[in-house]
Each structure stands twice: as structure tokens, then as C-alpha cells.
Amino acid sequence: MALPPPDPQFVLRGTGAAVHTLHFSCGGPEPDIPLLFSGSENGFIHVWNLKTHRVDSALDGHGRKSVYCVETMGGKDRLLSQGRDQRICLWDLAEGRTSVTDSVFTEHVGFCRCSLLEVAQGRWLMAMAARSLEEVQILELPSKTSVCTLKPEVGAKLGMPMCLKLWQLNCGSQPVLLAGYEDGSVVLWNVSMGKVLSKLVCHQEPVMSLDFDSEKAKGISGSSEKVLSIWSLNEQQNLQVYKTHELVNAGISDITIRPDKKILATAGWDHRIRIFGWKKLKPLAVLDYHTATVHCVSFSDHSKPRERLLAAGSRDQRISVWSIYAQT
Amino acid sequence: MAVFDTPQAAFGALRPACVQLTRVQTVENVRQLQAHLAGVSGAALQELQEYVLFPLRFALRVPGPKQERLVQSLVQCISSVLAATCVKKQELLQELFSELCTCLAPPPSSGKAAPLSEELKLAVIQALHTLMHSAYGDVILSLYQPSTLPLLGFAVSLLLTLAEQEKAKQIKISALECLQVLVLQCDCQEHWHLDEDEAQQCGDLFASFLPGISITLSRVIAGDIKQGHKTTVSAIRLFYLIVGLVMSDKQLARIPKNKEKLPVEHSRISELMIHRGPDWTKSTAEKLSLLLHKVVESSSVHPHWKVRLELVELVHHLLSNCSQSLVDSFSHLLKALVGLVNDENSEVQSRCNKVLQGIAEQRIVAQNRALADVLSENLHSLATALPRLMNSQDDMGKVSTLSLLLGYLKLLGSKINIVLNSVSHLQRLSKALVQVLELDVTDVKIVEARRSGPPCPLQQGVQKGRYQKKYFRFFTEEKVFQLLQQVCRVLGYYGNLYLLVDHFMGLYNESGLYRKQAAMILNELVTGAAGVGVDFLQEREVPLNMNDLKGSITSILDEYMDQANWYLVTSIDTEESSPEQSVQQGLAVRAGGSSSSVLLLSPEPPATTRTMNSNIWQICIQLEGVGCFAAVLGKEFQLLLLSALYPVLEKAGDRTLLISETALGTLADICEACGYNSVQCLINENSDYLVNGISLNLRHLEYQPRASQVLDTMLRHSDASLLPLVEDVIQDVLSALDQSYNSQASTFLRVLHSVMTALVQWFGMSSTEEHRQRQADKGQSRPRSWGQQEVTITSQELERFFLDYVSQKQIAEGDLPDLEEEEADEVPLAKPEPNSDTEGEAPMPIHAQLAKDVMERCIHLLSDGSLRVRLKVLDVLELCVTVLHPHGNHLLPMAHRVWPALVTRLISDDPLAVLRAFKVLCTLAQTCGDFLRQRVSKDVLPKLTSSLLSQAPVSARAGPVYSHTLAFKLQLAVLQGLGSLCERLDMVFSCT
């Protein structure tokens, strides 16, 4: 008999609203305190101290509108956050400051999280859904200069972009964007040429989330249906369906592959977090704690593998933190 | 008598007497001279010294037998001359010295000491004493030349014989003092100070006498107690002075490799001279070691404290002068010293402590490898014997053994680690400690003592740092425990913390037998490591690394709070948990359901009182440990609260008195350490941690009782500010309850009860005030409706009155709608409650929402099979009603839903339940008022009246016992409550 699923290692309470996004910053050397950033529906970004399990500070920069994406840029001192006030804010958190240094007005009304890729020291590319419905815009940060705008062909009817993933095979190579669209298709864009490389219809419903493993050239996407779709990218830069996985309950709001590419976690509308082996998509565990839809899952970047954590944020206003390295 | 100041005048005065004495040597003449001497000033006599001495010496030298009295008076006279003058000539000194010695010498014919009178001996000794004091510094040195060695030896042996064999104390003491002067170690200050070379030379000379002196002295010291302590004290002093001089490390270091060649004329003497080379040093040290052992043994138990004090001085002197040459003896010496730390005499104690302090401060041990070896050797042998000693000795014996152990540890200081690094040493030591610290676990009371009722607010009755008094199997004396504590702390202070913690953790895990002791030791180790309450002699070399300490504490805490060590069977609780629950638990265990629950109950069948007592103690010790750690870490402990607070709070709610008290003490410690003003503060500030623990534990059936206990404690010691967090976890409780109505109902009901009690407490004030206001409103409105003369009646009121009237009328006419219909039209009735119109719009406050949710569960549980559960539910229900009271338009629908189940309780249940249900009804009536009128009169009143009717004759006839019956109580309650109930419900109307 399999072991009963574990309990969360601890649960963070006190966001006061549904949690939409989580991001760890734990990679720092010893004196640095491991942090978890959470963005919640009431527009606050909470900075959780993972030693005391308490909020160190709460950042208010999106006019009390839901924050649905938080990323660090480089260290834990620079933060990027995206909110429903249609702004992407850049924060300076060094030495206890909590100020917005810069912001980008996206004019996008959807929920598409932006995607960040560091292309050089202190230089990032950011993909974000743009004002017109189907477009994705690539900006260079921190200069905010527009690199290109990815516009689907006329008549493609992809709908709005739902999720984005910028990546490059290795440092210096061409950055590539994977975008999941409202019509259920995943499109591979060549960023520098602004061209569609490949398009694959994975789902009948909008793609809610996707993640991609550039080593194995395989990606996974989830939608509001009961199906997880795994697709691969072949040498000719063509996306192919590799496998699908049927779920018990419909609706996946977030998918994350663990940085070591061994397992992945999904955030389900059925209040559950599911853990799969990435290689064969073998179901490993169902983590049942939340009492409402789970909105996001995130793996920590601790330098010691044993300390690494999984966090999930849910509409029930709690963030559950799990230690699953020890078990797997 | 005239005083002669000038030499001339003095000469004139003394001459006749001197001449007379030279001619005829009689006692009378000597006395004459002495009488004249008294009148001569010191300066004058100095001039005439030799002149005066001549007749005296002449008289002594006259060949042939002499009268003893004459000799004595001569010697006394010489002595008085010498006392007033100085000897400035070497020859004079030597001659006088030898002449005086000769007086004591046996006549050459007989081999034995002459049977001289004691007075004479005393006189000679004193004269020698005076002589030594009257000689000038450089003059006296002439006596200490290799050439005078035989003379000195003669004097020494004479004096020793006297000291040993005489009966008279006075002589013994004088002889010893004289010897002390002779070896240039006089106590008085006016002596010529020897420079290094001179001292070296004297040391060489005295080396020849060392064997004789030391052997004789050791015999004197070990001699009959009747000789008086003064003799022994002087003997000990002389012993250590001479040994300290001859064996002085400083002198020995300067000894050349080869013996110096003396001039030829001294060849015989040079045979007598001793070369203090390494070989000699070694063999002498060996012999001295034996003697010292003897000395220490006899004097350390000497009844007179001055002797013991002198022994301390001996150790001190030898340790500071001969720490290298006499290293082999130190095992005895230190043992004596350390043992005397706890002498009954305070002076000995304090001196001893000072000496130890001095030793430690001068780092004699730290710098002397050999000494450290000796000490660790001692320690090892003591540790080896310790278990046996602890078993066999009485408390006093244990005190001395343990103070010895403590002394060794303190002396070793940071060198302790050498000992600890040896596995066998550490093992011995720890085994001994563990064995001694075994607790007495036979007391049944500890298992029996229960917390009675809810504990009073935590702040009261909790005193910080007051640990539970423990009872040990092998000793009762508190002092023994204190010593053991100190031993552990000193170990922690100097020792390698990681090593020690690791070792004792090993013991902790090795066997249940050791667990309590090991935990106790660990607590003390950590305390000691932090330097709290340690009585040390020297600062440790390496200051404490806070991170190490924190690391150790974290690992100990983890171990303490591990499932298997924290959750032990401490009671066979039949009283609280309902029988079916315990059966179920038992089943779960037998079925091997969940792996962890097996750990909770020991595999052995029923736990005996003994094991439960032992478990209780273990938990207490661990709790005390947590308190210690908090105290040690101070604010740093805050980080550990995350994992530690929940378990401690859990224990604070334990039903065993001892455990809950200890846990409260621990909480107080934590408060103090982390800077919280009160336990309430602590709980409030860290409620997030607690809620986390509770919520996680609620997910497991077997932990639920404990989680609810914590919630219980938390609620009891907190205030309304906690509500948002509590709300979160109560939802968890409710959902947990929803999943296990059957098994855990009683557990959760307790929590719900405390939740509702807390809510009533936090929000009750406002509600009662409102209530009063409402009553007042009613009071105002009633006369209006009664009288109807007032013109200010609103149309709404009029309408309501009319509707009421119609319905009452119907009832009065016996036109009772059946239940379903009634429910159907009750609901719209509830809606237009004018009072709460505004509240209906606003979102419900959290506490009201909670009360509503809880009430909802109560509805289901009201018809539970177990009476106990039903009673509890009724209690909770009453509280819910009180909390919901200000929120009428939520309460009324709920009341409506509760009604059928409540009625069943009122009508057909156990009398106990009826009693409670009636109370609930009264409360409900207070708040719902006329909403219930119809129902009460229809459903409840008939039954109540009939029961009252049937009970009336019974009670009328009943005897005094009746007032103790349930029936009586019920009857009384109904009779008391019915009146106000009817009034509240405006029953008057329906009856008219």
C-alpha cells in the first residue's frame, strides 16, 4: 500500500484574500533569509520569511487590484509584479526599501502572466500579452524597449494568449516563446524573427498553463478540461503531441516542472495539488489540503536539495508549503 | 633597679657577677648574673656580649658531670643575653650552636638520649631558637656551608627526636618551630632574605636531611590525636616547607648535570652531600609520594579543622612549588583538596575554594600536561567506582564523592575534553550519572492528580523556573541533586557540546530506562554550556559559539518532541473520552491502521501505574528542558517557537496535573525568554504558529483530540484579536467534525464549547448590553400595546399586533396548524423583524457567522446516541444562542430549525437532558421572545405541566433525600424557570 499523502509542512495564513501567484527566493547564501513572495487578490504582494513563517512586509502597488504574477529579477532585491490594474511594476526591495522603480502599462485585460528570461547579466526579455487581443509583446528590461510584437496571421483565430513561456536552449542562443492561446493551441514563436515556428492544438478549451523542459524538449500544458497534454519539440522545431493524461477532475490552473526536471506539480480546480513524475507522467501523489481552487504552484530554489519546497496558493487564502523532496 | 646605658657603667655592674661565676659555677651565681643583666640596656650589652657570654660558656664547657639545674640556668641566661644582642661573628655563632646542641646530646658513653629534664630540653630548644634569631644574615649563612653539615645534621636529628618522642606538647611544638627556623623557613618576617644562589645552596644541604625529616614528620603527623592539633599543624607546616624547598621545581631546574667537586679537604663531607640530579629527584619523589599519601590520609579526616586547613596549605604550597617534581603525588593531594571543598568548617571551605581558584587561574593544570593526566586518571577511577559508590554510600557519602567528582571536573577545566574524548571515560561517567539520577516512579498520586476543571488564567499560579520536585531512587538529599546538576553543567560548560549532546542523545534513545535521566542531563548540559548557573573556577578558553548551541538545542528539541517521546500514555482516561471512543482507538491500533498511532500506545498491554508515572516524569523533564532552552537562547528561541510552542501548549492542556503545571511553567519561561509580558501575549503573537499546528493535526483522526486540546488552551488564554485566525481553524474543526460525526463528536464538542465560551466572553458584553436595551424597548412598547391609549402607535406595530392577535386567537380556539404548515408560515413571520432590518443588510460579523455554523452542527448532534454528547450539545447550543442573540434574523431561522430536535429533548429524554434542554429553552426564550410563544405553548407546556402535576404528589410526600434526586432538580428548575419563561414569551396573551 502506498504511503498516505503527506501533510503540508506548514501553512501560511494571513494574506486576507485569494492567492494568485507565488515565487520563491531561497537561493541566497547562508545569512540570507529564504523568502516567498505571494501575490493576492487584494493587490498586495506579501513577502514571507520562511524562517519565521511570517510576513516580513506587504507591498501595495497595484491599487488593490489582484496581483497575478510575481517574479524576482536576479536576486531577491528586484521584483517584478503584474496586476489586474494592467501594470507591470518593477520593485526595488534592497535594504528594506519597498518602492516601485518603474512600471509598464500593458493595457491587457486578461489574466495572462508575463514571462521573464535573463538573456545577459542585468538584461532581461519579458513577454507579455499586449493591448490588442491576440498579440504578444516582447520588451527588453530594464530599458523597456520593445523588441518585437508577435502577431498571429490574420484569420488564425487563436484568441487571447493565456500563458507564456520564454526560453532559450542555452545561453546566447535564440530566445523562443511558447504561448498557449484561448482556442487551446500552443504556438512556438521565434522571437527575433517574430515568426510562428510551429503550432499545435492540444486542447479543446483555453490553455490555462504550460511549462517546458528545454533539456528534454518536452512541454506540458493544462486547460480547463480533464486532460493534461504533453508535447515535444523535434529537431525541425515542430511541436508534436507526445502523450495526454486524463485527470479525474477538470481544470488545471497552474503547472510547474521542478527545476531538476524530475517531477511536476499541477494546481487543480478540484482543490488538489497533483504530483507527477515528469518522465512518464506517473501520478505520484495527490496533495489534499485546500478547501478551494488552487491557483498556483511553485517550487523553491534552495541551493540544498533537501531544503527545497513546494508551495501552493489557493482561493481559500492559504498558502500551503510542502516538503516533497524528502519523500521522492 | 638602675639602668646602665653606657658600656662602662654596664661593665662595672656585670664584672663582679661574671668574675664570681667564672670562679664558682653555681646556680646562685648564674642567677646573680642574670639579675644584673636585666639592668643593662641592649646597646651596652651588645658591646659586652662576648665578655658576658664567656663565663657562661666556660661553665658549660667545664668537663665532668654537671648539675642539670645549673645547665638549665646557664642556657637560660645565654638565651636572655642572645635575645638582647646580635651575634656578629661567625665563629661565635658556630661555637654557641654546637655548645647548645651538646647540652642535649647524650653522654658519649650511653647510646640513648640522656634522661634529661623536660625543662632543660625546653630551655635548650629556646636558646637555639633565640640564637638563630640573633644572628645576622650573612653570619647565619656561615652555618650553612658544606663544612658545617655534620653540625647541622646533629641539631636536626636532635630536634626531630625531641619532636617525635617527647611527651610534652610544649617541647614538641618548640622543637618543630626550632627546626623550622633551622631550615630557614621561619614564619617571622625579620629574617635575612636569601637570594637564589643562597637558597639553592641551602636546598642542597637540606636535601641530606630530607629523608629523616620527612619520615619523622609523617610519623608525627599520623601520630596520636592526643598530641594536640598544634603539634600536627606545625609538623605539617614544616613538612611542606622543607619538601617545598628541597623539591622546588625552580631549584631542581638549576641543578647541574654532574656533581660539583668539592675541595679535597672536604672529601668526607662531600660524601654526605647530595646531588639533586634527576635520578635522585625521581626516587625521592616516589618515596615522598608514599609519605604524602600517608599524611593526606591521616590529616584529611583529622577532627580538628586547623589541621585540615593546614593540609590545604600543604597542597597549595606543594602545587605551586613542586608541580613537576612531585607530579605523582598530586593524585592524592588534589583528591584531598577537592574533597575538602565541602568541609564542614567554612574557613577550610573558603580557603580551599580560594586555592582551587588560584590553581585554576594560574593555569597550573592547563599548562601542565602531566597534572592533567593525573587528574583525568583520578577522574576515570572515580567514574569507574562511581556507580558502585552511588549504590552503596549514604547521602553524605554521595555528597563527598560527588563533590570530589565536581572538583576534578572544575580543575580540569577545558582539559575535560581530553577525558571526554576517551570513549571509556565518557561511558563510565555517563553511566554513573544516569544511574544516580534514576527517578522514583512508584508514587501513584502523580498519576492520579488531575487538573480540576478549567485552569485559572495562566498568569496566576505560575512561577518561573520553579521546577517540579523530583524524587530519586538512590538519594533524598537535595544537596546531592544540586551537586549532580553542577556536575552536568560544568561538563556542559567546558566540554565539547556536540560530543556530549550526541552521547547523551544516544543514551536517550538507547533505552527507556535511561531516557528520563539522559533528558535531565541534557537539560543541564545545555544550561551549563550557556554558562547559566555554572560555578566555575576559570573561564573556558573558547567562548561559546551561539550557532553551535542553537544547533544542539534544535536537535534535542526535535528528539524530545518526536511522536514517540512526546506522546506517551499518561493515563487510562475513561472519565473524559466516551467508552466507544476508546474502544475505537483500541481497534484502530489493533488493526494497525495508521503507523503512527501504534507508537502512541505502547505495545504492552495495559500501562501500569509505574510506567505511566515514568511517562509523566519524562514529559515533565522534557518540558522543563524546553523551558531551559528558552532561557538559554533568549530571544533566539523565537525561531524555535514555530515548532515548540504547539507541543508545549498541548501539554498545558493535559489532564495530568503535574504535566500541565510543568507546561505552564515552561510557557512562563518562554515568555520571559522571548520578552512577552504574559502567556496571553505569547499565544496571541504566535497564534499563527499554533493555528498552523492545529490545522495540520486536525487532518488526522488520531491527533484530533490533541489538536482540539491546543485550540482549547489557546482560546482560553486569548482574546478577540485572535478571531480572524481562529475563524480559519474553526472552519477546519467543523469540516473535520463533518467527516467524523460518530467517532470524534465528543472531542470536538469540547472544542466547540470552548470556542463558544470564548465568543461569549469576547462579544458577550455587547450582546448583553444590547439585550438589556432590547428589553428596555420592549418594556416601553408593552404598556403602549397594553393600554392602547397612546396615539403614537405606528401602522407597522398595529399590523403586527393584529396579526399576532389573529394567530393567538386561532390557537386559543384550538385551531392549531400542524407542524409542516406551521413551519411554512413561520418563515415569513421571521422576516419582517423590524429590529434587525439594518443588520440583515450588513454582512454578518465573523463571530456570529461562526456561532451560526456551530449551531448548524448542533442540530445534527442533538439527537446523538450518547447522552453525554447530547448534554454537551445542549450546552454549546445555549452559548450559540447567546452569541447570535444580537443578530435576530439569523437566530430566528436557526431557532426554527433547532426546534424539533430541542422539543424531543424536552419531552422524551433522560431527565438530565430535559433539565439542560429546559435551560436552553429559557435562554432561547430570552432572545427570541414571542417567536417561540406558539411553539412552547403547543409542544412543550403540556408535557411540562403534566410532569409537574405527576411530580407534585411525589414531592409532597417526599423525605429529605428527595432534594438530592434528579427529579427534584428538574422539578425545581422547571418551577423556577417557567414563570420568567412565560413572561418573556408574553404567554399572557395566549392564555387569555
Say if residues B246 and B276 touch (Cβ distance below 8 Å): yes
Contact B696 A11 (CB under 8 A): yes
Average pLDDT for residues B805-822, to the nearest whole number?
Answer: 60
B725 touches chain A (CB under 8 A): yes
Contact yes or no for B639 and A52 at CB 8 A: yes
Q: What pLDDT does A314 receive?
A: 92
Taking Cα atoms as reference points, which of B881, B886, B887, B915 lies closest to residue B899? Answer: B881
Query: For position B548, what pLDDT does the model report?
Result: 86
Please report, for residues A254, B472, B850, B910, the alpha-carbon distance to residue B871 in angstroms, rounded to integers and kept in the order given: 48, 45, 21, 10
Per-residue pLDDT at B76 exceeds 50: yes
B475-512 tens-digit pLDDT: 888 888 888 888 899 888 988 888 999 999 998 988 88
- The residue among B546, B695, B735, B853 with the most chain A CBs within 10 A of its CB, best to mutate, is B695
The pLDDT value recorded for residue A210 is 92
Kindly report, residue by residue over A174-200, the tens digit of the pLDDT.
Answer: 888 999 999 999 999 988 888 888 899
pLDDT of A321? 92
Cβ A14–B688 below 8 Å, yes or no? Answer: yes
Task: Return all residues near B196 (Cβ < 8 A) that are at least 6 apart.
Answer: B254
Q: What is the pLDDT of residues B636-691, one digit of tens each?
A: 888 888 888 888 888 887 878 888 888 888 988 899 888 888 888 888 888 888 88
Closest-CA distance, A53 to chain B, in angstroms, reads: 8
Angle, helices B512-529/B546-560, rounded to nearest 10 degrees: 160
Residue A274: its pLDDT value, please?
A: 92
B945: left (phi over 0), alpha (psi -120 to 50) or beta: alpha
Specify the pLDDT at position B93: 82
Q: Which residues in B393-402 are b (16+ Cβ under 10 Å) and which e?
A: beeeebbbbb
Q: For chain A, give the mean pLDDT.
A: 88
> Which residues of chain A have a CB within 8 Å of the CB of B696?
7-8, 10-11
Greatest mean pLDDT range, A256-265, B2-11, B462-471: A256-265
B93 in Cβ contact with B62 (< 8 Å): no
What is the number of other CB atoms lying within 10 angstroms of the CB of residue B777?
11
Q: Does the pLDDT value for residue B814 go beyond 50?
A: yes
Q: Chain A interface residues facing chain B, Cβ-Cβ under 8 Å?
A: 4, 7-8, 10-11, 13-14, 51-54, 289, 291, 317-318
User: Chain A contact for B134, CB < 8 A?
Assistant: no
Matching residue, cell 537535595: B478
Q: Was domain A106-246 assigned CATH 3.20.20.10?
A: no
Q: Is residue B988 very low, low, confident or very high in pLDDT (cuts 50, 70, 90)?
A: low
Residues of chain B numbered 589-628 and touching chain A (CB < 8 Å) = 594
* Separation CA B895–CA B901 (nearest Å): 10
Q: Is the pLDDT of residue B787 over 70?
A: no
Are residues A13 and B735, on separate chains, in Cβ contact within 8 Å?
Answer: no
| Cβ count near B638 (within 10 Å) | 20
Whether A7 and B692 lie within 8 Å, measured CB to CB:
no
C-alpha–C-alpha distance, residues B55 and B58, integer Å: 5
Residue A275, SS3?
A: strand
Q: B136, B86 in Cβ contact below 8 A?
A: yes
More confident residue, B808 or B757: B757
CA separation, residue A149 to residues B92, B314, B731, B830 (Å): 125, 97, 48, 62
> B4: which strand partners?
B40
Residues B356 and B334: beta-carbon distance below 8 Å? no
- Cβ contact A13–B688 (<8 Å): yes
- Give A291's contacts in chain B (Cβ within 8 Å): 731, 735
Task: Tell me the C-alpha distance between A111 and A129, whole Å.
Answer: 9
Give Cα B108 distance to the centre of its chain: 70
Closest partner CB to B692 (pick from A4, A10, A317): A10
At B468, which amino acid appears?
Q
| Closest-CA residue to B13 (of B53, B52, B55, B59) | B52
Q: How far is CA B320 from CA B65, B564, B706, in A?
A: 50, 54, 62
pLDDT digits (tens, 9 = 90+) for B872-903: 888 888 888 888 888 877 888 888 888 888 88
Q: For the sheet containing A227-233, what is the strand order?
A: A207-213, A218-223, A227-233, A239-246
The mean pLDDT of chain B is 77
- pTM > 0.90: yes or no: no
The Cα–Cα gap between B106 and B73 comes to: 19
Given a cut of 50, whether residue B807 has pLDDT beyond it is yes
pLDDT of B835: 44
Residues of A in contact with B689 (CB under 8 A): 53
pLDDT digits (tens, 9 = 90+) for B450-469: 765 554 444 444 444 456 77
Nearest alpha-carbon partner for B672 in B681, B659, B684: B681
Q: CA B11, B13, B16, B20 torsion: positive or negative? A: negative
What pLDDT, on a 0 to 100 scale, did the predictor assign at position B61? 76
Residues of B in contact with A271 (CB under 8 A): none
Number of residue pairs across A and B with CB atoms under 8 Å? 32
Cell, residue B78: 645565654
> Smallest Cβ distance to A13: which of B699, B725, B735?
B725
pLDDT, position B824: 42
B7-26 confidence digits (pLDDT tens): 788 888 788 888 888 887 78
Contacts of B787 (CB under 8 A, 6+ apart): none
Whether residue A152 is preceded by a cis peptide bond, meaning omega within 30 degrees of 0, is: no
Q: How many of the other CB atoms lie within 10 Å of CB of B788?
A: 11
In eight-state DSSP terms, residue A271 is S
CB contact under 8 A, A11 and B642: no
For residue A253, what pLDDT is reported?
92
**B57 or B186: which leads in pLDDT:** B57
- Break chain A into its structural domains and give their ranges: 1-59+251-327, 106-246
Instruction: Quickly count: other Cβ atoms within 10 Å of residue B591's Cβ.
Output: 9
- Residue B573 reports pLDDT greater than 70: no
Mean pLDDT for the stretch of residues A134-146: 88
Task: Quote the CA–CA distance of B738 and B861 in Å, as a whole number.
Answer: 11
pLDDT band at B190 (very low <50, low <70, confident <90, very high): low
Shortest CB distance from A7 goes to which of B691, B699, B731?
A: B699
On the 0-12 / 13-18 / 19+ scale of CB atoms within 10 A, B886 is buried
From chain A, pick out residues whose CB is under 8 angstroms from the CB of B691: 13
What is residue A266's predicted lDDT score, i.e. its pLDDT? 93
pLDDT confidence of residue B782: 42
Angle CA B234–B238–B242, to nearest 5: 175
Q: Quick one: pLDDT at residue A293? A: 93
Q: What does the pLDDT average to over B784-793?
A: 43
Q: Does the distance separating the beta carbons of A291 and B688 come in below 8 Å?
A: no
- Residue B57's alpha-carbon distances to B53, B77, B353, B930, in angstroms, are 6, 10, 52, 136
Distance from the Cα of B334 to chain A's closest Cα (Å) equals: 47
Cβ contact A291–B638 (<8 Å): no
Q: What is the percent of chain A with per-residue pLDDT over 90, rounded to a whole number?
A: 32
**What was the pLDDT predicted at B126?**
84
Residue A276: pLDDT band with limits 50, 70, 90: very high
What's the rounded mean pLDDT across residues B729-754? 80
Q: Which residues of A touch B728 (CB under 8 A)?
A: 13, 317-318
| Res B364: pLDDT | 67
- pLDDT computed for residue A208 by the predictor: 92
- Do the Cβ atoms of B692 and A291 come within 8 Å? no
Q: Amino acid letter at B470?
A: K
CB contact under 8 A, B725 and A7: no
> Beta strands of B540-694 (E only): which ranges?
none
Q: Do B642 and A52 touch (CB under 8 A)?
A: yes
C-alpha B710/C-alpha B691 separation (Å) is 9
Q: For A10-64, how does the pLDDT look when each residue is reduced to its tens digit (9 = 90+)? A: 889 888 889 999 999 988 777 788 899 999 999 999 999 988 888 888 998 888 8
Report pLDDT digits (tens) over B221-257. 888 778 888 888 888 888 888 888 888 888 887 777 7
**CB–CB of A52 and B731 under 8 A?**
no
Q: Please list, residue by residue across B28-38, b when 16 or more beta carbons sit within 10 angstroms of its beta carbon and e when fewer do.
A: ebbebbbebbe
Contact B695 A11 (CB under 8 A): yes
CB within 8 Å: B699 and A10: no
Q: Give CA–CA dist A277/B466, Å, rounded.
A: 54
pLDDT surpasses 90 at B581: no
